[in-house]
A and B are shown apart, each in its own frame.
Chain A
Amino acid sequence: MNKLKLFKIYMQGNTVYFLLSWLSIILQVAFAAVLPLLTAFYLDYVIEGLPLDEIKRGREFAVWLHGIFIIHGRYLILPIIAVLTAIQGLFLFLRGKMAAVACENSSRNLRNRLYEHILHQPYEFQANTQTGDLIQRCTSDVETVQGFMNSHAVEAISISVQVIVVLFIMLSINPLYTLLSTMLIPVILLLTIRFFLSMMKIFLAADEAEGEMSTALQENLSGVRVVKAFAAQQLEITKFTDKNAHYRDRVMDILRLMAGFWSSSDFLCMLQFAVVILAGAWGALNGYITIGTLIAFSSYAGMLIWPVRGLGQMMGFMGQAFVALGRIKEIFDYPIENANDGIDELTIKGEIIFEDVSFGYEADNPVIDNISLTIPAGKTTAVLGATGSGKSTLVHLLLRLYDYQSGSIKLDGVDLKTISRRLLRQRIGLVLQEPYLFSRDLADNIRLGKAGAADNEVMEAARMASVHESIRRFERGYKTIVGERGVTLSGGQRQRIAIARTLLRKPSILIFDDSLSAVDSSTDAAIRLALKKCRGNITTLLISHRITTLAEADQILVMDRGRIVQSGRHEELIKEDGIYQKIWRIQSSSDSVSEVGDQK
């Protein structure tokens, strides 16, 4: 079966533990199955004193065992049972322990592999996947597989071994009685399998209903300001009541089905028991079997009936585990990006030349359309353009987050595609517009820019990014934890932390992708000034909507629909008919009017 190969993904590297746990199962079940046999022998031959020559199989052993009881006395049954149980217990423990070690190792490895695989995905991966779905695959799907391998698979194997061993023993004692004692078991098994198949659907419906309920709740809670400001409480209550009731009804569906299943299967199971006792009693009355056999069979029936009822459940879990493994495998099917290929040693001065570069996310829709430009080393180049004009994509090409499709980009004369992605990303510092902060403290967030940076280096970078003072004002300063369990930072603070993080690594080229939009313009200016002071003239690329920011650049590029439509210095561009002049007018004209002559 091809599907079974999927389990190899999971078991990789821990096969020995899995085999050991399975071996323990077999031994444990064997010892467990011997006990009723011993009790029956003790009752029939030691206590009742039936003649031993009725025994057909293993008579010599029986005679020996009987002899021991006669010589030493009946108390021997206590140590014998104790020892057998202890051995059984040992294997029971081993099976649990081995299975746990095997599964926990496997799950840890699988989780780590998934994590690394995701980290090494190309940039567009994030745009194309749904976070919630991906996280579900990495967490609950892994748990489903783990749960199955850890307990259900172990259970299923144990049940199967038990059924085989017990059936063998029963058949060797009395075939007809065995038949009577197991006749309802196939019916029970079928009922169980059918039940769990329909159960899976209902479980799914309930899960979905629960998801909807908690989404509704979450939305209401996080949008509470809007709810209040629009006086929509009553509306929200109605909406939530719907979902809440829907979920309640789905849970009740499950329980209705369960009530039907458990009562009918209980009925069948107990009926089978009654048959064992009644048929046994009849057999004993007519001398076909001994009373010991009757007692042993009622134990054995218990070892068959209840586990078989559980077996159907295992089939259901196995189905789920297959589905989960399939979903996990899909993640591994995404190819990863090779970050290390190419030149990995290069002193970067920072001159960048684009020649006829084109790029598009889809084939016939270029986002960068035949662009040629030069970003001189040590100078500041600013880019202005509307949303979707291709500014960010331009930057992405530089870090090889995407590779351009035609033309050429040269960094200090070296073709960009021959330089390793890792080197580029290490030496070019890019500050994103919506930077992500990790849920650790602020110092560690900044330190992500340079592993092992000293505290004073971190603070120095924070000072340059004009965020040191804000951090100091927090109760716990640099030890403030960011994220869900910690402080919520404003957009401007987040951006400045990200800037500090990037500055800490002292990159050769610095790129701000509209990453000063959330700080006010005086802070913006202060940051740029501090930068100039400390780093001298490094190649800087600035994307911004702010004319005041753009105005100071050595070169301004205006982008529109993937092309560069204007370029030059501020003084030149404001005299030129075009987008730049228009935006400059909007940002300043109304105020200049009011300054010149009072309108009111």
Chain B
Amino acid sequence: MIVEEQEFSKKIDFAIWKRLLNFAGTYRNLMLWLIVQMVFIGVFDAIVPLFSKYAVDNIVLVNKPQRLIWLGIAAVLLIALQAVNVRFMILRAGKIESSLPYDIRQAAFDHLQQLSLAYYDVTPVGWIMARLTSDCRRLAQTMSWNIVDLFWSVSMMIITAAFMLFLDWRLALMVLVTVPLLVWISIIFQQRILRNYRQVRKYNSHITAGFNEGITGARTIKTLTVEDEMAQGFAATTETMRGFSVRAATTAALYTPLVLMLGALASGLVLWRGGIRAGQNSSLGISYGTLAAFVAYAVQFFEPVRQFARVFTELNYAQASAERVFSLIDTPAIVTDSEESIARYGKTSDEEGKEKWPTFAGEIEFRDVSFSYDNNQRVLENFNLKIKAGETVALVGETGGGKTTIANLACRFYEPVSGSILVDGVDYRSLPVMWMYRQLGYVLQEPHLFSGSIRENIAYGRQEVTDDDVERAAKIAGAHDFISRLEHGYKSEVGERGNRLSAGQKQLVSFARAVLSNPALFVLDEATSSVDTQTEHQIQQALSRVLEGRTSIVIAHRLSTIRHADRILVIENGKIIEEGSHNDLLRQRGFYWRLYTNQIVQSHMTS
């Protein structure tokens, strides 16, 4: 069971941030530049109120119109500089925002290709997707725009405070005294707002799931006439979501007025105290322009504080995202090239090692193999089996008995927990993983097709094949007939996950795909369970031709499929309980014989 994911971590973990900074190492210069630029932009924004102060105090009140021109020139120059600065700042931040997630995704995707099936057994696709989409996006935003906002707000707050203190420390303190309160309120509210927002998003995904059920389950709903119940359940979800949304909006709506109030108090205070001192000739006297600048500053302080509080809050979530992404990248690849294999054949990704790869004769031996999926319940225990080169071995038995596990181990999708599997007499762990996979032709009960045309699916993984090759494979697999009846023939799109084809058709295409790959080791796992009787009959005949001379493992419920196997193994609770040819087993009058009579003989009896 998957529990709801934790959204943020409470403690700041410096190791994670250090690692994130390392990961973003290529962008270090970009980030440093960004920080420098943001400090400049912050300084500029803090200077703006000084313009009017200068205009009032040093031009109007002292009646020096000639200074107006200089002020104008300075203003235009500074503004132009600021515009250029903004432009490059956005380009730099954008570079990080777009490229950093690209890097993370690329690294994670490469890694995902190495991970064993054991990982995919326990990890839902949605879980991985979330890491590579929303978590990546959040990290990118943290490393670009949050840095931008953080340094802008900090530099602006510092410079503004410095200017105010420099202009008049008494008035400055009146404004600054509100700042701690402002920061405190902001952080509390930003946290609430963000938390509420997450809640709303969560319920929103429930609503999407609700629609998904209503649409994909429409036929079932209709035949069960449970429309009203479903609608009631859905309305309950939307009502909960409404409650959270209104609460979130109320919190957000409360925040701005509160902050406005603080700003108003500060500027009121400044206008009052400053107003009394304005124009006095004593040491306490302040200029008219100073007063105006302070009023502007009192209001202006609010934006950087808000930004600061927001970034501060989001860092928690960013850290959680980083943790999740790293946990994905750090997952060890269990089935991977051993050091021995790398020493002898080089890394799989290096092409030159391939020349040294051994040829595959096809003998597979399980020697004292034990295996469990979760370190708990043993699926196989001290299992021994020798499959001769070119032999067709069929596995029958009840679901959960270990048939698919045996096939998966033979393919090296998993490796034994103890014991060893020898291929042509050599422990396959000393050989490259990809070498083993290159020998395989694997057809599953629930075949996976990729969106694209039928031709692309049959030719999957093989770029060099011709249309004739594809057609020949389809003919052998019994898929040609239905394909040629389709409007676009081999060019027909199969749709997402092959949805436009029926279950039987998908099995035929995936069978053709395996035939085309011309494998040395053929594995059929319930490969023809969904095709109709006549087609299955055709496939059976083709099968005996295709499997000729190849090592193959066939798993099937329909015993007619495996009758011609060289050897049939009846598997129960991870053990071979019966073994022999079809006729041997019938003579034994054991499990196989019972299964067989159940399936086949019944129809003779009734006739």
Contacts and interface: CB of A to CB of B under 8 A. Distances in A.
Contacts of B17: none
A521 B461 contact: no
Nearest to A111: B238
A126 B63 CA distance: 80
B545 to A, nearest CB: 16
B63 A285 contact: yes
A399 B59 CA distance: 89
Nearest to A438: B213
Interface in B413-450: 413, 434, 437-438, 440-442, 444, 446-450
Given A78-B272, A227-B113, A255-B94, A270 B598 contact: no
B117 A230 contact: no
A230 B448 CA distance: 12
A264 B82 CA distance: 10
Contacts of A574: 607
A590 B563 contact: yes
Interface string A93-122: 101110111001101100110111011110
How many A residues are at the interface, by size bracket? 35 or more
Given A214-B133, A584-B603, A78 B219 contact: no
A394 B165 CA distance: 87
A485 B225 CA distance: 26
B356 interface: no
A356 B448 CA distance: 42
B124 interface: yes
Interface stretch (A233-241, A453-461, A560-568): A233-241
A174 interface: no
A126 B215 contact: yes
Nearest to B276: A74
The list of the 3 closest CB pairs from A to B, nearest first, reads A255-B94, A96-B253, A89-B257
Interface string A40-71: 00110011100000000000000000000000
B52 A135 contact: no
B2 interface: yes
Nearest to B126: A484
Contacts of B99: 248, 252
How many B residues are at the interface, by size bracket? 35 or more
B231 A112 contact: yes
5 contacts: A82-B265, A123-B222, A221-B125, A270-B48, A595-B586
A92 B537 contact: no
B563 A591 contact: yes
Contacts of A282: 65, 68
Interface stretch (B6-14, B28-36, B70-78, B380-388): B70-78
Interface string A217-255: 111111111111111111111001100110111011011
Contacts of A223: 448-450
B530 A263 contact: no
Interface stretch (A164-172, A429-437, A533-541): A429-437
B69 to A, nearest CB: 9
Given A78-B268, A436-B220, A135 B132 contact: no
A126 B101 CA distance: 37
B345 to A, nearest CB: 14
B469 to A, nearest CB: 15
B94 A259 contact: yes
A476 B220 CA distance: 25
A244 to B, nearest CB: 5
Contact of B204 (A139, A220, A254, A501): A139
Contact of A231 (B80, B292, B437): B437
Interface string B112-148: 1110010010001110110011000000000000000
Interface in A122-158: 123, 125-126, 129, 131, 134-135, 138-139, 143, 150
Interface stretch (A5-13, A373-381, A544-552): A544-552
Contact of B242 (A104, A277, A439, A545): A104
A138 B279 CA distance: 64
B109 A240 contact: yes
Interface string B574-605: 00000001110010000000001011111110
B283 interface: no
Given A75-B272, A131-B215, A588-B600, A228 B437 contact: yes
B583 A600 contact: yes
A85 interface: yes
B97 interface: yes
Nearest to B247: A100
Contact of B607 (A118, A230, A552, A571): A571
B105 interface: yes
B544 to A, nearest CB: 12
B208 A548 contact: no
B267 A81 contact: yes
Contacts of A219: 450-451, 496-497
Given A139-B211, A225-B442, A273-B48, A236 B113 contact: yes
Contacts of A180: none
Contact of B598 (A236, A451, A521): A521
Contacts of A583: 533-534
A244 B109 contact: yes
A434 B434 CA distance: 36
Contacts of A426: 225
B218 A125 contact: yes
B52 A82 contact: no
Interface string B46-84: 001001100110011101010010011001100110111
A362 interface: no
Contact of B79 (A97, A270, A387): A270
Given A47-B278, A281-B55, A386-B532, A255 B91 contact: yes
Contact of B109 (A217, A548, A570): A217
